[in-house]
Amino acid sequence: MNSEQSTPFNRVPLYIALGLSVALVIATLIGAKIVYRKAALQPVSMSTIDSPDADSTECSRFLDALPGELSGHPRAELADPAPAGAAAWRSNSVSRITLRCGVSLPLQFTTLSDTTDVNGTDWVRVDDATTGSSLRTWFAVNRTPVVAVTADDRALDDGESPVEELSAALGTLDRTDPAPAPAPLSELGPGSSDEGCDKLLPSLPEKLGGAVGYTRVDGDRINAAGLPAGSAAWTAPGAEPVVLRCGVADAPSYEPGVQVQQVNDITWYHDTTLANGTTAGTWYALGRTANVAVSMPQAAGSTAIVGLGDAISRNIPALPGSR
């Protein structure tokens, strides 16, 4: 009787293929790590901006005192030509923190600005108003020279400010009493009528919607900011304030025939004159017995102008023939 003999299975080719696959995976991981590390070690390019005190001895001393690590990122070299007064920390090509010493105070720093005291340094946060951007900059406003630190969510995993780790280095800079800019609309002249303003102010909302949540500030803060009677204001972290004044003079740039916008019952004239570094414009409610002006940044959104317009419509009478 014939019996079939089984041929033993040769596992050697299988082991070789498996070994090659594992080696390929390891090589890929090592290669990715090398690329990642090289990207992290590449010098950081920073542009030159208006920094009047960047070349100062104080900034040089401050840069020498900066930590080797900030928010978990190692300090990086700057690509040539490196701007004066600058420093950077980076872990990869997208997660980085930059710093500049000797910059000017931001235009957004006004008598209405919120400041945060961190170990004796007053910081003002200014958020990038670009849609989808998480970039924000902290300014040390009571130190001379002024220091600015910029980062986004990718560099700050927990969303916390990186400035506390800079306290020791900031101790090399002198403290000063900062001079904030006047609050928006504080320098507008009074109008010929304030009819209805006494009813409008108490009826204004405590919150304003939009992409940024604004909260109304109290009367003591209005007075401290140098805003006159008939004023209200709303603030939000990192954003420019919304300011309303009732009973102001006519818009200086308004003339018959200019473009206006109708929002519900209110005809608005938008003075689009903007300064560098700010997105705020001034809106004037037309055709009412008292002129109402609103300074509002783009981040406040259209819902803010709708809510304020409804309050104006209910409390400030329309001029005869304006409807």
Residue whose C-alpha is closest to residue 313's, from 228, 200, 191: 200
Q: Which residues contact 274 (CB under 8 A, 6 or more apart)?
A: 280, 281
Contact present, 28 and 75 (Cβ < 8 Å): no
How deeply is 113 buried, as exposed, middle or buried, from its count of CB atoms within 10 A (0-12, 13-18, 19+)? buried
pLDDT tens string 120-163: 999 999 998 888 888 999 999 999 999 999 999 888 876 678 99
Domain final position from 120, 140, 175: 175
Cα–Cα distance between 73 and 97 in angstroms, integer? 8
Cα–Cα distance between 133 and 131 in angstroms, integer? 6
State the residue range of the domain holding 93.
Answer: 43-175
Residue whose C-alpha is closest to residue 94's, from 163, 157, 139, 137: 157
Q: What are the φ and ψ backbone dihedral angles of 191, each rounded to 5 degrees?
A: -90, -175
48/171 same-domain check? yes
156/204 same-domain check? no
Q: Residue 273 falls within a domain, yes or no?
A: yes
pLDDT tens string 27-79: 554 554 444 445 556 899 998 888 999 999 999 999 999 999 999 999 999 99
Q: Residue 97 falls within a domain, yes or no?
A: yes
pLDDT tens string 254-286: 888 888 999 999 999 998 766 656 778 899 999
52/171 same-domain check? yes
Q: Residue 321 falls within a domain, yes or no?
A: no
Q: Which residues contact 248 (CB under 8 A, 6 or more apart)?
A: 185, 188, 189, 190, 191, 230, 291, 292, 293
Cα–Cα distance between 177 and 322 in angstroms, integer? 48
Q: What domain count does the chain have?
A: 2
Q: Residue 183 falls within a domain, yes or no?
A: no
